Structure 1
């Protein structure tokens, strides 16, 4: 219990550590975890590679094929360019990896391009970065799942007509696994990830040995070469289009910088090592697959993937090793969606906390993950798969431009950060929202590294935008623009609400009017809260304000404000270990109810602010209706909400 001497306010603390009632959903996703379990839910480097690298590693299964799809327009003679293009892409991978390794150590709390842009380039740049990444994560799920289904169809062609249904079912499965939590999903996916790595390296090494010993032939009965735009000469534009298709191999490289908080301490070190592991494996596999695909003259096709052709050529038709390779590739492509499922909800929560998306996305679910973000991602990805009929070739033009836009903003932001650090004096410290700036004697070198990274990714972004514009890249540009506009509208709404609820220059509460006993649930202390308190005073002088503490910092803020504005009304803070709001509140009300006197009425006064814009009301929770539903049958309990109108 705390008593504020200046204001005479009593603050009581109560811990609600009883787990929520069991639900059917708990059977599928596991029992609820307490907030105190969060440190135990972090992951190490081995599991981290499975969680955050599956997207990048899986791209080796289709990046080479997508380059060949474009080069095929000039005939099989152009396939010889696929390996040189892969060398350039690996060089770009090295640049991006070095740049993001610096980002990981500079921003140990994660957030990647969004946080870097927000702190160094301003609000508009951060909105663009968030829009680019969120749209890219949706495409990651759609592309990776569709590509995984394409592998299945390659082995079992009679399933082709069911590919969309299979893909949507796979998205649902991934959603369910991720709702179980980061650590558990990582453990589940670790074995398939390493199985894929071993299987692919085995295939590549076997193929190289057979090539250098003269035993590797050409693909037997390859699919028919499909020319999407007719025969074309080998031009610079054609080469650049193929290059832009191949740069999809870099999607997912930024994932680790976004998910640093998921790693065990020391977080930045573990995340940085995992990033280097991932990039090394990715580069080696991309070069090996591209080299061998060009030699065996694999043909890009919707009906049989390049990996399938390569495996049956290396292993002499469809034997056990072929089936193992196809199985491993299918699994990793489906699992690639896991990277997006790990990062989309985190980024959604960050943007929601900053008021760019509905606040509900910032709330953790029963398994300490951002459940609403996971469900939203699954819905949007399924919609894309249905619209584009699970076609990787149709989805690829939409892919990667968002990634390289975020790459560019992140690296340019980091270059700006090093420039700011260079202006500090040794020993000087400047705290920003996402990190702390300290003088670094090597700031010039690091600024050059990030600056060069920004230039390289900027060039690739424009190559991609120009060469893929008519193929669908314009849709991504349009979507990003719309998302930025939506962010601005939502943010403006929250700013307007905060301004109208602000207690600045508000003064004191009106005199009390004694009536009857009142319980006043509060989520925060603002003008709407004090309007409800004023109404409660008209009913009774026996008033208890109740705050369910989900986050300790927020609860402390509520306590300080209540001591200042609560005018002596007692406050009960109930610490909810499982981040559940309704059950601890109901338990407290039931405790009061069980000890009430005969003919005593308990009035629950719920503050509620209402916006004059109807659409904006969906951005806020309605506690009064939820309480009415739960307490409707309780005799002697009256529930009323006090609306505070915001024009």
Structure 2
């Protein structure tokens, strides 16, 4: 996957998401090269003699602030350091101010970098936020298991209890394993980091690919299932299910863009409501069953569609395992907890797994006691609630709570995928813009990418939950399996006290997760799982291409010379060329279409620099070229002029070709193209002018040694 590269932040063991992650420190080797290069610089005193005094107090704007005084832009903290004020961060155009006002209305006021610790979540908020996906899956997990068993006839439904027992063992094994993962890797990243460190980069990328697909599908499936629950109760809304689902994704995105703490406070209540409603249902159901002596009601006779076989049992086991999606959420999100992060994360994970087992086992037993079977017109949870609460408001409360938690189950993905992308971006496998913390200290780019991807999938599948479910389990159990195997290797390599017991727990989890993975991939392949089976290697390939690009950038731009392999500090004679002033030879090129104030200001600017300069004029015919040269002579011919005749009236390409040819014939020359630019008052007015600078920049961006810039001239008001 290319050379590993140097990652100072990873080596330093940065425990949290840092606003400085986009600007990592230099390595000791790079600092050594930088010191030697600086010693070779030769600049005159004129370069260090500034025409202004940058230490002269605060810097104020031309606008008016409080008490009629000019608004303060920067506050000086000390020699050579300023702190930006909100005034300096505001846009200075009407359009920019309108966009900024809308952002503040939707997202709130920006938070300072120092506020990142205050944005973390306490355990009672982290539990519903990170458990919403896991707990909501019990609304459909037991039913998914019974839907497969009933294919072998109603007689096969008795196998639901031993299969559920095996699933409880899997839940305990995987949950215990992730507790150990949080302890061994207290900085987060879960399956990706475990698999990368213990099994190698490709295994880590496979886990990341599986989780990425799972999180995107979590949003699509959860939102579409929640909307389906609402449209089932209100059929008149069915034609608008897709726009409604997109609106829900938009609300989730906006809530999470407002920051971790705000999103947690807003989205915690529905999860607690669902938890209370289902626990109340289970308690009332067992009281009712105890009154009847726990007698088992025989299910209605259903003819077998296929014979009972090991494959059917495995399919039921794999389908029921969808109740575990989201169990890895805590290990990915350790940094969102208040200190001590890993200890609080383990506590919440234990709560989550315990609640999951109680809900899953309780609902499965009650469904078995009451002889309920899957129906096309009503979910098993709805049947059980209607049977347990035939009168009163409790049935409606359970249905509303279920719909809400299914809608908000997507919030787990909004908490975890941006953090996974953060760690991958730190390692160079996805764009580094995923390291950026937004106005509210949220990983905004990851949130937006997740929302867009989920919306595309939801629209592509028409918001149909049953079409998305077959894609759902493969990716997450791929991550589970790799994480468990990685933890086995981790304990084998470190051999801390009790490592054999820990490795055995992870081994059991790995074996059971692998069974679910293979069964789901094989049995659901033709139903849609083939998409995930093909998408995982495609994502791994894409991650590798991104990493190779960043490695190439590091080789080309790093302070050490490009070698293609890691090695010690290079000798001085191999240091990068043309990084000291005395090695740079300048020539300024000034394209001039007509002699007006914009052109004359640009020529005056270039002339003030005291470096060689050449003006270029492209003419459509010889007569115009002669006329322009006469005008140039009238001006005084202060700068050499080259006229280019373009019979086909092409402007940009001849200028680019001339600059490129000049640079090619003189490789030691640095060309700076300074374009006169008229700055208009309104965006629509740009359409009335040639955008010469942008077009020339695009034409020359692939040519080395050529700089394109502009000299702006503002229209007089």
| TM-score normalised by L of structure 2 | 0.66
1:191 match: secondary structure = helix
1:77: how far off? Answer: 3.0
State how 1:582-597 maps to structure 2 within 5 Å: none
1:539: how far off? Answer: 8.2
Q: Please say if residues 218 and 313 of structure 1, whose CA atoms lie closer than 8 Å, have aligned partners that are also in contact.
A: no
- Cα 1:448/1:299, change in 2 over 3 Å: closer
The yes-or-no answer on 1:398 pairing with 2:471 is yes
1:248: how far off? Answer: 0.6
Q: Please say if residues 259 and 441 of structure 2, whose CA atoms lie closer than 8 Å, have aligned partners that are also in contact.
A: yes
Instruction: Spell out, residue by residue over 1:240-292, the C-alpha distance to the aligned partner (whole angstroms, 9 max, x if none).
Output: 11111110111100010000000000000000000000000011001111112
1:75: how far off? Answer: 3.0
Query: How far apart are the structure 1 equivalents of 2:703 and 2:441?
Result: 34
Q: Match for residue 117 of structure 1?
A: 195
- Cα 1:81/1:164, change in 2 over 3 Å: farther
Instruction: Spell out, residue by residue over 1:372-422, the C-alpha distance to the aligned partner (whole angstroms, 9 max, x if none).
Output: 211121122122222333333322211121111111111211222222213
Instruction: Spell out, residue by residue over 1:305-332, the C-alpha distance to the aligned partner (whole angstroms, 9 max, x if none).
Output: 2111111111016x41111000111111
Query: How far apart are the structure 2 equivalents of 1:45 and 1:377?
Result: 25
Q: Match for residue 622 of structure 2?
A: none
1:467: how far off? Answer: 2.0
1:194: how far off? Answer: 1.2
The yes-or-no answer on 1:326 pairing with 2:396 is no
- Cα 1:235/1:121, change in 2 over 3 Å: same
1:441: how far off? Answer: 2.4
Query: How far apart are the structure 1 equivalents of 2:460 and 2:322?
Result: 21
Instruction: Spell out, residue by residue over 1:515-570, the C-alpha distance to the aligned partner (whole angstroms, 9 max, x if none).
Output: 99xxxxxxxxxxxxxxxxxxx9998599xxxxxxxxxxxxxxxxxxxxxxxxxxxx
Instruction: Spell out, residue by residue over 1:595-625, the C-alpha distance to the aligned partner (whole angstroms, 9 max, x if none).
Output: xxxxxxxxxxxxxxxxxxxxxxxxxxxxx9x
State how 1:173-184 maps to structure 2 within 5 Å: 173-184=251-262
2:84 aligned to which of 16, 19, 38: 16
Query: How far apart are the structure 1 equivalents of 2:221 and 2:608?
Result: 59
2:410 aligned to which of 311, 328, 337: 337
The yes-or-no answer on 1:169 pairing with 2:237 is no
Q: Match for residue 244 of structure 1?
A: 318
2:554 aligned to which of 495, 498, 508: 498
Instruction: Spell out, residue by residue over 1:411-457, the C-alpha distance to the aligned partner (whole angstroms, 9 max, x if none).
Output: 211222222213xxxxxxxxxxxxxxxxx323333223223322221
- Cα 1:646/1:236, change in 2 over 3 Å: farther
1:15 match: secondary structure = strand
The yes-or-no answer on 1:511 pairing with 2:582 is yes
State how 1:170-249 maps to structure 2 within 5 Å: 170-214=248-292, 231-249=305-323
- Cα 1:201/1:119, change in 2 over 3 Å: same
1:64: how far off? Answer: 1.2
2:480 aligned to which of 383, 392, 407: 407
Q: Please say if residues 216 and 313 of structure 1, whose CA atoms lie closer than 8 Å, have aligned partners that are also in contact.
A: no
Query: How far apart are the structure 1 equivalents of 2:125 and 2:486?
Result: 29
1:118 match: secondary structure = helix
Q: Match for residue 505 of structure 2?
A: 449
2:80 match: secondary structure = strand
Query: How far apart are the structure 1 equivalents of 2:519 and 2:580?
Result: 62
1:394 match: secondary structure = helix
Q: How many pairs are equivalent? A: 518
Query: How far apart are the structure 2 equivalents of 1:262 and 1:37?
Result: 13
Q: Match for residue 44 of structure 1?
A: 122
Q: Match for residue 149 of structure 1?
A: 227
The yes-or-no answer on 1:253 pairing with 2:321 is no
1:42 match: secondary structure = coil
Query: How far apart are the structure 2 equivalents of 1:380 and 1:297?
Result: 40
Query: How far apart are the structure 2 equivalents of 1:200 and 1:477?
Result: 35
The yes-or-no answer on 1:297 pairing with 2:371 is yes
2:443 aligned to which of 370, 376, 400: 370
Q: Match for residue 76 of structure 2?
A: none
Query: How far apart are the structure 1 equivalents of 2:460 and 2:532?
Result: 15
1:646: how far off? Answer: 7.7
The yes-or-no answer on 1:478 pairing with 2:534 is yes
Q: Please say if residues 248 and 400 of structure 1, whose CA atoms lie closer than 8 Å, have aligned partners that are also in contact.
A: yes
**Mind listing any 5+ residue stretches in structure 1 that lack a counterpart?**
423-439, 517-535, 543-623
- Cα 1:364/1:646, change in 2 over 3 Å: farther
Q: Please say if residues 257 and 444 of structure 2, whose CA atoms lie closer than 8 Å, have aligned partners that are also in contact.
A: yes
Query: How far apart are the structure 2 equivalents of 1:514 and 1:244?
Result: 68
Query: How far apart are the structure 2 equivalents of 1:335 and 1:309?
Result: 23
2:509 match: secondary structure = helix
- Cα 1:213/1:469, change in 2 over 3 Å: same
Query: How far apart are the structure 2 equivalents of 1:88 and 1:17?
Result: 59
Q: Match for residue 307 of structure 1?
A: 381
**Mind listing any 5+ residue stretches in structure 2 that lack a counterpart?**
1-34, 49-78, 91-99, 561-574, 588-604, 612-671, 683-692, 706-717
Q: Match for residue 351 of structure 2?
A: 277
Q: Please say if residues 478 and 517 of structure 2, whose CA atoms lie closer than 8 Å, have aligned partners that are also in contact.
A: yes
Q: Please say if residues 515 and 538 of structure 1, whose CA atoms lie closer than 8 Å, have aligned partners that are also in contact.
A: no
Q: Match for residue 585 of structure 1?
A: none
1:44: how far off? Answer: 1.1
Q: Please say if residues 513 and 541 of structure 1, whose CA atoms lie closer than 8 Å, have aligned partners that are also in contact.
A: no
Q: Please say if residues 161 and 365 of structure 2, whose CA atoms lie closer than 8 Å, have aligned partners that are also in contact.
A: yes
Query: How far apart are the structure 2 equivalents of 1:234 and 1:208?
Result: 30
Q: Please say if residues 415 and 450 of structure 1, whose CA atoms lie closer than 8 Å, have aligned partners that are also in contact.
A: yes
Moved more, 246-255 or 500-509: 500-509
Query: How far apart are the structure 1 equivalents of 2:273 and 2:362?
Result: 18
1:216: how far off? Answer: 9.6
1:643: how far off? Answer: 5.1
Query: How far apart are the structure 1 equivalents of 2:327 and 2:516?
Result: 15
Query: How far apart are the structure 2 equivalents of 1:90 and 1:42?
Result: 31
| TM-score normalised by L of structure 1 | 0.73
Query: How far apart are the structure 2 equivalents of 1:450 and 1:187?
Result: 34
- Cα 1:483/1:539, change in 2 over 3 Å: farther
Q: Please say if residues 153 and 302 of structure 2, whose CA atoms lie closer than 8 Å, have aligned partners that are also in contact.
A: no
Query: How far apart are the structure 2 equivalents of 1:91 and 1:374?
Result: 34
Query: How far apart are the structure 2 equivalents of 1:630 and 1:334?
Result: 51
- Cα 1:355/1:225, change in 2 over 3 Å: farther
Query: How far apart are the structure 1 equivalents of 2:549 and 2:375?
Result: 49
The yes-or-no answer on 1:108 pairing with 2:186 is yes
Q: Match for residue 346 of structure 1?
A: 419
Larger relative contact order (C-alpha < 8 A, sep ≥ 6)?
A: 1
1:301: how far off? Answer: 3.9
Query: How far apart are the structure 2 equivalents of 1:225 and 1:393?
Result: 25
Query: How far apart are the structure 2 equivalents of 1:81 and 1:16?
Result: 66
Q: Please say if residues 153 and 303 of structure 1, whose CA atoms lie closer than 8 Å, have aligned partners that are also in contact.
A: no
Q: Please say if residues 513 and 539 of structure 1, whose CA atoms lie closer than 8 Å, have aligned partners that are also in contact.
A: no
Q: Please say if residues 154 and 302 of structure 2, whose CA atoms lie closer than 8 Å, have aligned partners that are also in contact.
A: no
